Amino acid sequence: MLLAKVHVSLKPTVNDPQGLTIARALGRLGFDSVDSVRAGKYFEVKIEGNDRATAESEVKLMCEKLLANPVIETFIYELETI
Amino acid sequence: MLLAKVHVSLKPTVNDPQGLTIARALGRLGFDSVDSVRAGKYFEVKIEGNDRATAESEVKLMCEKLLANPVIETFIYELETI
């Protein structure tokens, strides 16, 4: 079994209202050292089998088709054997 | 400047309808090797200064107070100098 750890983040040039809101809320809670926050998504996908090459290309496709919006988001992933 | 990379995930025993929905959608898209999906959140918090010890304890507090719900979620974080 393989575990794909997928990070989906907004592209740096894309406005991130969720991150801005969290940064303001942290400021109000007294965390004055917070400069900025970017919010993203994190998925753990368990994949049957142990064929890393196939899994690697499948995870890339999953990101492009469903997990990320390639217009405004970037994704990175890593594979682990579990 | 320090960068905290924070992962917030549902505890393993907590039901994850978002992950289940994504897993089903991936199946419908033809990714038959997907066993299960867990969905979580990912935050990048930029922190002023270079005091790792202070930043470390502040990020822990941020998670406990705002970024995660300790009743149903767990968090892990790492600090990087940027």
Region B52-73: mean pLDDT is 96
If one counts the domains in chain B, the total is: 1
Query: Can you tell me the distance from the alpha carbon of B27 to that of B34, in angstroms, rounded to the nearest whole number?
Result: 7
H/E stretch holding A63 reads none
Give the residue numbers spanning the domain of B18: 2-81
Looking at chain B, which residue has its C-alpha nearest residue A7?
A: B42
Cβ <8 Å between B62 and A25: no
Non-local CB neighbours of B16 within 8 Å, separated by 6+ positions: B10, B37, B38, B39
A8 touching chain B per CB within 8 A:
yes
CATH number assigned to the domain comprising residue B36: 3.30.1280.10
Which ipTM was obtained for this model?
0.88
Q: Which of A35, A41, A47 sits opposite B48 (nearest CB)?
A: A35
Nearest Cα to Cα of residue A46 among A79, A76, A69, A74: A79
- pLDDT tens, residue by residue, A56-76: 999 999 999 999 999 999 999
Region A11-20: mean pLDDT is 96
Q: What are phi and psi of A28, to 5 degrees?
A: -65, -30
